[in-house]
A and B are shown apart, each in its own frame.
Chain A
Amino acid sequence: MMMKQRIIKHRFIKQRLINIFQLGIKELYSLRYDPVMLFLIIYSFTFSVYMIAKGNVTGVVNAAVAIVDEDRSQLSQRINDALLPPQFLPPEQIGLDEIDTAMDAGRYTFVIDIPPDFQADIMAGRQPVIQLNVDATAMGMAGTGAGYIHRIIAHEVTVFLKGAEPKEPVSIVTRARFNPNLDASWFDTVIEVANNITLLAIMLTGAALIREREHGTIEHLLVMPLTPAEIMIAKVWANGLAILVAASFSLYVVVQGLLAIPIIGSIPLFLGGTVLYLFSVTALGIFLATLARSMPQFGLLALLVFIVMIMLSGTHSPLESMPVLLRSIMQLVPSTHYINFVKAVLFRGAGLDVVWLDIVAITIIGSVLFIAALLRFRKTVTLTQV
């Protein structure tokens, strides 16, 4: 008697797995027949990542500088020549009356005004004043860049006066680990891959559910001997797999190959963590889809959730500089842990011993989201507004 029950139960589980597998295949087919969608997935993991690497500017890179040289001396020329790439674009010479219009139009972030008789005053020890105008609306660049220009001018003037490099009682050497030149494109590119994973996971899965509801095919599925859990797991694995393939391609071919960005960490570990993250974000996508009644509603809801997730999870500004309350709230969001995980694994070469806590957090949040989504899914599946 016990034996027979066990066999039935075993068959039942097997049947469920087959169901989940076949539903997932169906999901992949519907993706295949949407060429624009496929193109967009490829676009976001190749072209868009490439653009970020080549075009994005964070920190002081290519800062646009203009010099109003009222002195035209050897010293002012030296200052001009000391503003070098990659931090600065070659300085442009402009007139005193052009400063306001040029800065209003955002053509230059920094304008240096060297007064008449500057060199003569320096030689005479009269401490002339150089004016440095900074466009303070360029938040990422203004503060640090002004600091650099300060040091460059001070250095040039000192060297000019003494005829040699200044002797300091203590010298300081800064070295950056993991990214020696502090090349921001390394960071931005990999984060773009992570952000795309988040965006796609939410949108693809959630939208797939909404579409079935709007077309009424979800009712067909529900009258079949399938449980909501099977339908959901199928959506999670199929869409998760598609994104995982695209992300791996992006990392191996675009980031490592085309862009030659060195990744010191273990990519298999990264992909393993990504699988768990995909589970948790696709569950979030389904959860959001159960809240929305139509595709436009879902689109907006998903976008707003996505924007908050990427802005506050430690990509644009480090988590430790946020208010404590916000930081605690963000601990409940899977992307915070994921970004932390990505940074540790891919940039600092951290192993499982360092990142296990993040992985556990992602899994727990994912399970909670999945259960919440399942409960809502059962309840709301028939409430559709067409």
Chain B
Amino acid sequence: METRLRRGDVTLAIEIPPDFGKDLKRGRQPQVGVWLDGSLPFRAETAKAYVLGVHQFYLDDLVRSQFGESLQALPVNIETRFRYNQNFESVYAMVPGSIMMLLIWVPAMMTAVGVVREKEMGSITNFYATPVNGFEFLLGKQFPYLGLALVNFTCLVLFAVFLFQVPIKGSFLALALGALLYVIATTGFGLLVSSFVKTQIAAVFAAAIISVVPAINFSGYLSPTASLEGGARVMSQIFPSTHFQQISLGTFTKALEIGDLVNSLLSIAAIITVYLLLALTLLKTQER
């Protein structure tokens, strides 16, 4: 058993002790051991839940066969309602989440590299010589990528609805408005990254490494933000992904209206302001 667990070809091993049947009949409460491969905790956790479920089912069955239908196994009825997603199908959670992730990675990286490219190639000095000020330069750089990101968004929504059959149950207006703000924020994040890196490699890498973790791990995509603690909680709040995840999941799956999402929309707007101001300050200090 040990070797096979080590090889990873069994996830779960059930150990039934000697004299199990005899002990069971005599009411000596025999013990069944279950060994789980803990190297993949979430899989072990699921396996454990299933084992306990099967065990409970077996016990109920045993009691019923011994005492007949008259004995009720449980004195309470627990009625579980899986809200928003009755059949518990992951596509309804994955698709809105994927839109959230793609709309940060692609626009942020494109914008960051777009600006840093001019730095690395030296063409940015042309701008210093013109009467274009920093703010105009940044917005001018952001604008085309913003347009591109909105095209992306449209494609993604069409994919979601027609290819993956995930309908928008809530307000489309809220989703569209949220997406507009979100891509302003993510391209703004790209600008911010571009203002402190010098090379394109660093820009690509910074945009990826800084945004991948908060977008996958701390946005509510893998696990609910309500369960995050400490630094992760703070990071999830100051990053636009968390708020857009609320909007995307809310409008697609939770059937929310614009009124339910005002907080998320305002949070993204606040983040945009901070990103742009920071990017502008950093750009100015570099000019000198």
Where the two chains meet, the residues of A that have a C-beta atom closer than 8 Å to any C-beta of B are 34, 36-37, 40, 43-44, 48, 51-52, 54-64, 89, 101, 103-109, 122, 125, 127-144, 146-148, 150-151, 153-154, 157-158, 161, 167-180, 182-184, 186-187, 196, 199-200, 203-204, 207-208, 210-211, 214, 295-296, 298-300, 302-303, 306-307, 316, 318, 340, 343-344, 347-350, 354, 386
Decide yes or no: A175 and B36 within 8 Å by CB, A104-B256, A136-B88, A169-B24 being known contacts.
yes
The number of residues on chain B lying at the interface, defined by a beta carbon within 8 Å of a beta carbon of chain A, is: 104
- Known A60-B45, A137-B249, A199-B208; contact A128-B88, beta-carbon cutoff 8 A: no
| Chain B nearest CB, measured from A86 CB (Å) | 10
Q: Quick check: is B174 within 8 A (CB to CB) of the other chain?
A: no
Q: What separation, in Å, do the CA atoms of A58 and B56 have in the docked complex?
A: 25
Whether B162 is near chain A, meaning CB under 8 Å from some CB there, is: no
Known contacts A172-B52, A211-B199: A140-B223 contact under CB 8 Å: yes
B positions within 8 Å CB-CB of A: 5-8, 24, 27, 29-46, 48-49, 51-53, 55-56, 58-59, 62-63, 72, 74-86, 88, 90, 92-94, 101, 105-106, 109-110, 113-114, 117, 120-121, 196-209, 212-213, 217-218, 220, 222-233, 235, 246, 249-250, 253-254, 256, 260, 263
Residues of A within 8 A of B72 (CB): 127
From the candidates A174, A295, A350, name the one contacting B6 in the complex (CB within 8 A).
Answer: A350
Q: How far is the CA of A347 from the CA of B38 in the complex (A)?
A: 8
Question: With A40-B205, A136-B85, A143-B88 known to touch, is A55 a contact of B217 (CB < 8 Å)?
Answer: yes
Report if A135-B83 is in contact (Cβ < 8 Å); known contacts: A48-B209, A177-B37.
Answer: yes
Is the pair A130, B78 in contact by a Cβ cutoff of 8 Å? yes
- What residues on A are CB-neighbors of B229 within 8 Å? 54-55, 62
Indicate whether A208 sits within 8 Å of B45 (C-beta atoms), given known contacts A106-B226, A153-B76, A295-B117.
no
Instruction: List, in ascending order, chain A residues with CB within 8 A of B49's CB.
Output: 143-144, 147-148
Nearest-CB distance from A207 to chain B (Å)? Answer: 4
**Whole-angstrom CA separation of A138 from B227 in the bound complex:** 11
Tell me the complex Cα distance, A161–B74, Å.
Answer: 11
Instruction: Decide: A176 and B44 in contact? CB cutoff 8 A.
Output: yes
CB pair A59 B45 closer than 8 Å: yes
Whether A169 contacts B52 in the complex (CB less than 8 A), given A36-B197, A64-B227, A199-B209, comes out as no
Residues of B contacting A186 with CB < 8 Å?
41
Q: Can you list 6 A-B pairs with a CB-CB distance of less than 8 A?
A: A55-B233, A151-B56, A153-B78, A158-B75, A295-B200, A302-B204
Q: Which of B77, B120, B206, B232 makes the CB contact (< 8 A) with A56?
A: B232
Question: Do A175 and B113 have beta carbons less than 8 Å apart?
Answer: no
Chain A residue with Cβ nearest B20: A170
Contact A179–B213 (Cβ < 8 Å): no
* Interface pair B218/A64, CB less than 8 Å apart: no
The interface residues of chain A lying within 8 Å CB-to-CB of B207 are: 299
Give the CA-CA distance A52 to B209 in the complex, in Å. 13
Select from chain B the residue with minimum beta-carbon distance to A342: B39
Q: Which of A36, A169, A174, A306 contacts B202 (CB 8 A)?
A: A36
- Give which listed residue, B86, B196, B204, contacts A207 with CB less than 8 A: B204
Bound together, the chains give a CA A58 to CA B87 distance in angstroms of 21
Contacts of A169 in B (CB 8 A): 24, 27, 29, 59, 62-63
How far apart are the CA atoms of A104 and B231 in the complex, in Å?
A: 24
CA distance A108 to B220 in the complex (A): 12
> What 10 pairs between A and B have smallest CB-CB spacing?
A55-B232, A179-B38, A176-B38, A347-B39, A64-B226, A136-B85, A299-B204, A207-B201, A136-B82, A57-B223
Contact: B31 with A138, CB < 8 Å?
no
Q: How far is the CA of A196 from the CA of B46 in the complex (A)?
A: 27
Say yes or no: A141 contacts B224, CB within 8 Å.
yes
Select B260's contact among A36, A104, A161, A178, beta carbons within 8 Å: A104
Compute how far the CA of A349 lies from the CA of B37 in the bound complex, rounded to whole angstroms. Answer: 12
Contacts of B200 in A (CB 8 A): 207, 210-211, 214, 295, 299
B225 touches A161 (CB 8 A): no
Q: Assess whether A151 is in contact with B52, with CB atoms less than 8 Å apart.
A: yes
Contact A142 B82 (CB under 8 A): yes
Residue of B nearest to A171 (CB): B31
- Decide: A170 near B205, CB < 8 A? Known: A36-B196, A52-B217, A343-B39: no
Asked if B6 and A137 sit within 8 Å, CB to CB, the answer is: no
On whether the beta carbons of B44 and A173 are closer than 8 Å, the reply is no
**Given A43-B209, A54-B230, A132-B81, A147:B52 Cβ within 8 A:** yes
A55-B228, A347-B39 known; A170 vs B77 contact (CB < 8 Å)? no
Known contacts A44-B209, A177-B5; decide if A109 and B224 are in contact (CB<8 Å). Answer: yes
